[in-house]
Amino acid sequence: MPTARDAARDTENVVGDRTLVAVQAVNISRLSTHPVPTVPGTLIVVAGQGPKDSNGAGKSSFIAAITALLGDEQWRFASGARAVAELLFNAELAAQGDSQWASADHGYIVGVFDHAEPVEDGGAVTVWLRVNADAPHLEIRWRQGVYLASAPSEADRVALADRLWASLPRSAGRRDLVAKDLGRVLYGGQVRCVSFLSTSVRSKVATNLLSQPLNEISPERIFSAIAALTGLDRELEAERKSRAEEHRERAKAAEATERLAEWEREAASLLKTFDRRDRARDEVAAALRHWRTRQARLLVDAAEADAAHAAEQERLHREGEELAESARAAEREIEQLTGGALDARLQEAQAALAELKGQADKLSADKAVARNRMDELRRQVSALEERQRESDGRDGDAARAELKEAEARRDEAQQEFGMARGAVARAERSLAEAEAGEGSAPEQIRALAAQGIAAVGLLDAVELAEDVRERWEAALWPYREAVVVGAGDLDAAVKALTGMPGSMIVPAGGEGLPEGVSCELALGRFLSALDGDGTGTVVIGGFAEPVTGRVARVQAARTALEAAQEALDRARQATSDA
């Protein structure tokens, strides 16, 4: 659960955009305790009459009290603002005051802050600063509305101020916020006052833009003071953080792009491996199918041959039986026959038998030759069927023509891939030069930077409104390679670019800019001369994208890089397909 101290630490910018409208000082120097109204936005002159002349009237004390209320760093709040205690009433310094009054050990600086125009969500805020002679020298309390010490006499207002202070809630729980918290809690860290008082009221003075001649303050200190006064320091810090974040994001994007490219290469390699494996599996399956088909064909052929051989064997067996029967019949006849007739018939039978055996042997030989020829023809048919399955129907000339055309497409795709890679490299280089402010004349800018001369491309330095973009882009285009340098660096720049003939230098100078044209450098003289150019030259405008302004040029370079990367991807895909 957050404590009161945590809540006080989180409280910031109580005053907000309100302005000081009234001041009341109690026990501060010899100032009256009457509330003093102020009019925001006007010049306020502080005057007074002292014992003899204007000296001792309390003018410096009144101004010093207001600067303390508004958080001027001249009071060294970070060190406790000990000098604020010097504002308390001192009887020794008052004319004959030590015999009538005692020095004050504490006092109050009260300020009423309100909006310049009435608003619905907030009214006036009264801030009370208690100034103590002892530490803490400054304590802070506040309250909504107007809360001032109002009484008929000075003594009554002093006494009433102590009671009002006691009735205000403590600003940090059990204690009050002190001097080091004033700028953050009341004004949110914004600079609300810059002053210089070289009087006894504030003897120790910190260096600021008003306390010293500007030629004695370093340019860095002047810039820091102006940045803090205008709030630019917070914007610069935010810009630094955003640039650092952008750099980190760009580094992450580059790393992601590189990892994506590597992953794509690995994926392509794996896909090729998978394709080869699938093709091998298909070929193995086809080979197995063909082998099984061949085995089945051989089995069918063997079964048919066996059936034919069985039929032939059966026929021969029948012939053998018939011959045996004929032999038995012949033997019976032999038994019956006698004399030469038997021998004659036996010789005839032996001659017929020999003839039949010769015919049988010839038939067996012809059958073996036919069987061998049939096996050879079957093998030729299987080989021709395999070649027929592998062929897609094209003849040799058509296949060679298609191969030549495919090789031409492959060479063209590889050439386009190389050109796309070169375009990506050029686009990346252009983007880097545009981000570095060297998009228009990088060699000249680097040469000037080597000599310590600050320079920027002309097109990077000029920002154009949309309604005048077409006219001024056409006018500035002939000078797109010009660089802008300070007027005091012109001679040194000319000397530095002696070795680069044709370089164009535009010296900064001249007040006032044409309508719709803005730039950080003073280019009024150049743009005025360009606006009144009477050379009669006509430059065709109408660029699709803005060509001026660093942001626009960086965006255009980034768009060109993305287009080149897309073209590279298409070329890579075309190369893979070829």
The yes-or-no verdict on residue 219 having pLDDT over 90 is no
Q: What own/partner pairs with CB < 8 Å and gap ≥ 24 does 368-376 have?
A: 371/305
CA-wise closest residue to 49 among 27, 32, 72, 71: 32
Asked whether residue 263 falls in the same domain as residue 158, the answer is no
The answer on pLDDT for 440 being more than 80 is: no
3-state SS assignment for residue 507:
strand
Instruction: Show which of 318, 335, 352 is a domain's final residue.
Output: 335
Return the amino acid letter for 26: V
For residue 575, give the nearest of 443, 449, 412, 437 by alpha carbon: 412
Closest by alpha carbon to 179, among 73, 28, 106?
73
CATH of residue 449: 3.30.70
Q: What residues pair up with 220 in beta bridges, in sequence order? A: none
Q: Which pLDDT score, from 0 to 100, does residue 151 have? A: 93
Are 328 and 469 in the same domain?
Answer: no
Same domain, residue pair 485 and 358: no
Domain boundary residue among 314, 335, 356?
335
Residues, the chain: 578
Alpha helix (H) residue ranges in 138-231: 154-167, 182-187, 219-230
Which residue type sits at 60? S
For residue 422, tell me if it sits in a domain: no
In a shared domain, residues 97 and 183: yes
Q: Both 139 and 21 in a single domain? A: yes
Task: Please tell me the predicted confidence (pLDDT) of residue 467.
Answer: 76
Would the pTM of this model clear 0.85, i.e. be above it?
Answer: no
Secondary structure (DSSP) of 91-137? TTTSTT-TTT-PPPSEEEEEEEEE-SS--SS---EEEEEEEESSSS-
Considering the domain architecture, whether residues 23 and 130 belong to the same structural domain is answered as: yes
pLDDT of residue 535: 53
Domain annotation covers residue 425: no
Encoded tokens for 475: 């006018």
- Asked if pLDDT for residue 520 goes beyond 90, the answer is no
Q: Determine the Cα–Cα distance for residues 297 and 292; give it in Å rounded to an integer.
A: 9
> Does the pLDDT at position 208 exceed 60?
no
* Chain-centre distance for alpha carbon 118: 44
Side-chain-facing half-sphere of 162: CA atoms under 13 Å: 10
pLDDT in tens, 273-330: 999 999 999 999 999 999 999 999 999 999 999 999 999 999 999 998 999 888 888 7
pLDDT tens-digit readout, 173-206: 888 999 899 889 998 888 788 777 665 555 455 5
27 shares its domain with 105: yes
pLDDT of 1 above 50: no
Residues 236, 189: one domain?
A: no
Only one residue has tokens 């680097």, namely 446
Residue 536 scores a pLDDT above 50: no
Quickly state the pLDDT bin for 259 (edges 50, 70, 90): very high
196 shares its domain with 81: yes
Residue type, 174: R
From 156, 183, 212, the end of a domain falls on 212
* Burial of 279 from C-beta contacts in 10 A (0-12 / 13-18 / 19+): exposed
Residues 325 and 356 in one domain: no
Q: Find out whether 109 and 25 touch, Cβ atoms under 8 Å.
A: yes
Whether residue 195 lies inside any domain: the answer is yes
Residue 72 has pLDDT above 70, yes or no: yes
Percent of the chain with pLDDT over 90: 25
The answer to the question of residue 408 being in a domain is no
* Domain that includes residue 96, residue range: 4-212
- The answer to whether 484 touches 449, Cβ cutoff 8 Å, is no
Contact assessment for residue 128 and residue 35, using Cβ atoms and an 8 Å cutoff: no
Average pLDDT, the chain: 78
Establish if 354 belongs to a structural domain.
yes
Q: How far is CA 395 from CA 278, 346, 384, 391, 406, in A?
A: 28, 70, 16, 9, 17
- From 466, 464, 465, 448, select the one nearest 456 (Cα to Cα): 448
Q: How confident is the model at residue 549 (pLDDT cuts 50, 70, 90)?
A: very low
**477-478-479 Cα angle (round to 5):** 85
Total domains present in the chain: 4
d(CA 59, CA 210): 18
User: Do residues 535 and 524 touch, judged by C-beta distance below 8 A?
Assistant: no
Give per-residue pLDDT as tens, 78-106. 888 888 888 888 877 765 555 567 888 99
As a whole number of angstroms, the distance between CA 329 and CA 466 comes to 131
